[in-house]
Structure 1
Amino acid sequence: MAEDRAFRTAAWVGLALAAALSLAACGKGGNAEHAPERGDQAAAKVDGQTIWSSDVKREAVAQGLIGEGEPLDVSSDLFRRVLDEVVDQRLLAGEAVRRKLDKDPIAQRRMTAARDRVLGDMLVESVVSDAVNDNAVRGLYQEQLKLAKRSEEIHARQIVLPNAAEADAVRKLLATGASFEQLAMEKSTDAATRFNGGDLGYFTIDVMPEAYGAALKTAKPGQIVGPFAVEGGFALVKVEDRRVEQPITLEVARPQIVRFLTYDQIRDLLEKLRGRAKVQVMVKTDAPSQAIPPADAPKTGVSPAILPPAAAPAPPAKGAKK
């Protein structure tokens, strides 16, 4: 436990330097202190300076221990642990000020960089919170719903037999009223589907091998087609249902839509700021300067694929396209 604490303390030295200017400024402002947020409460004092519960929560969010907007109970073990870390940060910052490290030119530059990051984050949060709201999310969802091309989905079951003779024999049993699901479990050689009665789930023809597409193209619900040759044998397929491909719901699509709108707002904001500013790059680079988007950011100018099929089919027969 002591070693872990020492390790964390060493990692906080950089943060302490970034906090030093703020701490020094607090010392110049008199003794009166007011809660920085409504409902905030004092959690601790370090050399007369208050650490508020909101400070602890902000640190917990920064560490990824809780999400933005999630509550943090002041009586919880997590709150106490993060409070201890914030106290340690404040102590380190105070000692840095006492040693005049905040006057060091390198420290000043690092604190300026930290200030720029914080202010930039606050600007982005403000712009995004104003623009990325429920109306915007619903609007983009409805727009994509209109643009989405929806194919026809088929729900089917299959029985795969090793040869044509056995497939014909099973077809005759089905003609006498035998249960398709029961025969699939008893006789199908396709391990991916036999134990659930040959159920392939809902799928579009384009994801299946060519033989399935040809056999099922005009098949109606309730109809049994085959046997026809597939990789690994011969298949009998019963069509259970045909329907228009279902889009995902708004709630499922919401996180991706919010992500897209957020990146869109940030891109537009940066384009406007760069358009108003005079930016001179003083070093040679191999490529034009541009902001690097997060790995999962949608491509600029490309509408987000927010409405894929509602469900993927169960594994098809052997030889089905991946």
Structure 2
Amino acid sequence: MAAARSFRPFLLAGLMAALALSFSACGKDGGGEQAPERGDQAVARVDGKTVWASDVKREAVAQGLIGEGEPLDASSELFRRVLDEVVDQKLLASEALKRKLDKDPVAQRRLAAARERILGDMLVESVVSDAVNENAIRGLYQEQLKLAKRSEEIRARQIVVGTPAEAEQVRKLLAAGASFEALAMERSTDAATRFNGGDLGYFTTDVMPEAYDAALKDAKAGQVVGPFATEGGFAIVKVEDRRLEQPITLEAARPQIVRFLTYDQIRDLLEKLRGRAKVEVLVKGDGARPVPPADAPKAAPQPKTQTPTTQTPQAKGAQP
């Protein structure tokens, strides 16, 4: 271990957790060689007590270095660094016990609080892992698909020019069989779309300027409409396709669904526990319950594709 390592601020938090676990395990064999998890690997020993790969992974997750369930290669630099910190925590905790710091009343309160946090986290993890499963995720996704209202999408190309005379020239060239894409690249003044043949991608008319909504409302696939006045000049638009708006995929919706189901389970668990317990708040206040995290959905997620509102037609990549 490097003697010149800088002291890490989070080491104290780790020490409290290590002391809490040591305190709760008094009288048990702390140096047992049986792996705590199936397939676990012994990666170090501190005064004869084994440090397991799962100990290192748990610390890496606690620090936000990896996500829950992500692998951590025992040969990686990150693993060795976190292992170094776990060893430091165990050495500090062991020395604190030798000095009987755990017997101090203040220390015992802090240890008890750390133990309660750990047990609370374990309960939440257990409840969430049982409830937030693939069936629940797919079930909520299908439920929201049935509830979601799907608008009609249009895929179109446009040519924008500065004057009515230029627009009329473009219209005549198109009527004579000229390529819409080629004319868009040659004549259009809209920098956002001219170099991809005027392609606007798929959009719903509510995100477009009012003139587009009126012009495209009844247009059929393959039809050329315009010219009509827009903020950027005069537009001629070719409708390539009309279809129902594509729903969000399960994989794209999965993170939001998991957050919603997780928050829902935690809320229900706390409501049940508070309903069974006698809780007396002895300080004055407005009585408001803590607000949920900012990223916790307030209602079931609506799997509806959103298209940013624009004041002028913007280039969008065509969807498959």
Question: When the two structures are superposed, what TM-score results if normalisation uses the length of structure 1?
Answer: 0.91
CA contact 1:182–1:197 (8 Å) conserved in 2: yes
Matched, 1:15 2:14: yes
Q: Deviations over 1:135-170 (max 9, x none)?
A: 111111111111110111000010111111111111
Matched, 1:157 2:157: yes
1:110 CA displacement: 1.6
The alignment partner of 1:6 has SS state of coil
1:15 CA displacement: 2.3
Match for residue 304 of structure 2? 308
Alignment of 1:160-171 (within 5 A): 160-171=160-171
What fraction of aligned residue pairs are identical, expressed as a percent?
A: 73
1:28 CA displacement: 3.6
The alignment partner of 2:7 has SS state of helix
In the comparison of the two structures, how many residue pairs are matched?
314
Matched, 1:193 2:193: yes
1:37 CA displacement: 1.1
What is the aligned-residue RMSD (CA, Å)? 2.3
Match for residue 204 of structure 1? 204
Provide closer, same or farther for how the CA distance between residues 55 and 32 of structure 1 changes in structure 2, counting only shifts above 3 A.
Answer: closer
Q: In 2, Cα distance between the equivalents of 1:106 and 1:171?
A: 84
Q: Deviations over 1:78-124 (max 9, x none)?
A: 22111111001111111222222212222212211111111111111
1:303 CA displacement: 2.8
Match for residue 90 of structure 1? 90
Q: In 2, Cα distance between the equivalents of 1:203 and 1:140?
A: 26
Amino acid at match of 2:60: A
Q: Where does structure 1 differ by over 4 angstroms across 4 or more consecutive aligned residues?
A: 1-4, 24-27, 313-316
CA contact 1:200–1:315 (8 Å) conserved in 2: no
Report the more deviating stretch, 10-19 or 267-276.
10-19
Provide closer, same or farther for how the CA distance between residues 25 and 150 of structure 1 changes in structure 2, counting only shifts above 3 A.
Answer: closer
Match for residue 72 of structure 2? 72
Can you give the 5+ residue segments of structure 1 that lack an aligned partner in the other structure? Answer: none
Q: In 2, Cα distance between the equivalents of 1:222 and 1:151?
A: 20
Q: Deviations over 1:165-199 (max 9, x none)?
A: 11111111111111111111111111111111111
Amino acid at match of 1:291: P
Report the more deviating stretch, 100-109 or 82-91.
100-109
Q: In 1, Cα distance between the equivalents of 2:76 and 2:260?
A: 35
Provide closer, same or farther for how the CA distance between residues 173 and 32 of structure 1 changes in structure 2, counting only shifts above 3 A.
Answer: closer
Provide closer, same or farther for how the CA distance between residues 42 and 27 of structure 1 changes in structure 2, counting only shifts above 3 A.
Answer: farther
Alignment of 1:1-322 (within 5 A): 5-8=5-8, 10-23=9-22, 28-30=27-29, 32-285=32-285, 287-299=286-298, 302-305=299-302, 307-309=303-305, 312=307, 317=312
The alignment partner of 1:243 has SS state of strand
Q: In 2, Cα distance between the equivalents of 1:179 and 1:319?
A: 21
The alignment partner of 2:5 has SS state of helix
Can you give the 5+ residue segments of structure 2 that lack an aligned partner in the other structure? Answer: 316-320
CA contact 2:158–2:199 (8 Å) conserved in 1: yes
The alignment partner of 2:6 has SS state of helix
Q: In 2, Cα distance between the equivalents of 1:312 and 1:43?
A: 51
CA contact 1:215–1:225 (8 Å) conserved in 2: yes
Amino acid at match of 2:11: W
